[in-house]
């Protein structure tokens, strides 16, 4: 069984598929979804939905729009992928990962930041999945992480 969790940088690109640089990512996901089987699960983690959604909402509010095409795309992603909600055990594990990374001297965010990377890592550990990201370096200290273009369709 292959379990993939999409990171916010990948999901952000999926919310803007008409940009030339994002088309390969959209094609990659479409290829996985078309070949979907019981041996593959692709999650949209709640922490990622939050990170991407807050940015898209900020753009919408600045432009005076109640919503944007990108927000609607994010909503469709949350419907077409398996949504992975946060749980108390995940958040407690994330706190432990955050403290361990600080102790090792390898933090992934500022000390005052909530640090979405450790929350995402805790979600990935919970489902024994690989994080699909453009930022492998931050996540691979906690979990399996690969660039989207290194995950074969």
CATH number of the domain within which 62 lies: 3.40.50
Q: Which domain holds residue 47?
A: 2-85+127-150
pLDDT of residue 95: 96
Q: Is residue 103 part of a domain?
A: no
Q: Is residue 15 part of a domain?
A: yes
Q: Is residue 115 part of a domain?
A: no
Cα(67)–Cα(6) distance, integer angstroms = 23
Over residues 132-145, the pLDDT tens digits come to 999 899 899 999 99
pTM for the predicted model, two decimal places: 0.93
CA distances, 98 to each of 24, 44, 52, 86, 108 (Å):
33, 21, 21, 16, 8
Over residues 54-99, the pLDDT tens digits come to 999 999 999 898 778 999 999 999 999 999 999 999 999 999 999 9
- Three-state SS letters, 76-112: HHHHHCEEECCCHHHHHHHHHHHHHHHHHCCCCCCCC
Question: Do 52 and 12 meet the contact criterion of CB atoms below 8 Å apart?
Answer: yes
Q: Domain count of the chain?
A: 1
pLDDT of residue 53: 97
Question: Do 41 and 151 meet the contact criterion of CB atoms below 8 Å apart?
Answer: no
- Tokens 């919310």 correspond to 15
Sign of CA dihedral 14, 19, 21, 23: positive
pLDDT of residue 36: 65
Q: Is residue 121 part of a domain?
A: no
Q: Is residue 94 part of a domain?
A: no
110 or 13, greater pLDDT: 13
Q: Is residue 116 part of a domain?
A: no
Q: Is residue 112 part of a domain?
A: no
Nearest in space to 43 (alpha carbons), one of 88, 101, 2? 2
Cα(64)–Cα(75) distance, integer angstroms = 20
Over residues 4-47, the pLDDT tens digits come to 999 999 999 999 988 999 999 999 999 888 776 778 999 999 99
Cα(138)–Cα(151) distance, integer angstroms = 18
């Amino acid at each position: 069984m292959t379990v993939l969790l999409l990171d916010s940088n990948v999901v952000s690109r999926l919310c803007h598929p008409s940009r030339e640089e994002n088309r390969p990512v959209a094609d990659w996901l479409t290829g996985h979804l078309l070949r979907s089987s019981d041996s593959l699960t692709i999650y949209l983690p709640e922490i990622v939905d939050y990170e991407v959604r807050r940015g898209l909402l900020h753009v919408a509010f600045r432009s005076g729009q109640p919503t944007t095409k990108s927000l609607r795309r994010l909503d469709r992603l949350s419907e077409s992928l398996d949504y992975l909600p946060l749980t108390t055990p995940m958040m407690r594990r994330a706190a432990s990962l955050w403290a361990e990374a600080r102790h090792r001297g390898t933090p992934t965010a500022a000390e005052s930041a909530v640090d979405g990377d450790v929350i995402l890592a805790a979600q990935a550990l919970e489902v024994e999945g690989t994080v699909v990201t453009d930022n492998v370096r931050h996540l691979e200290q906690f979990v399996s992480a690969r660039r989207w273009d290194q995950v074969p369709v």
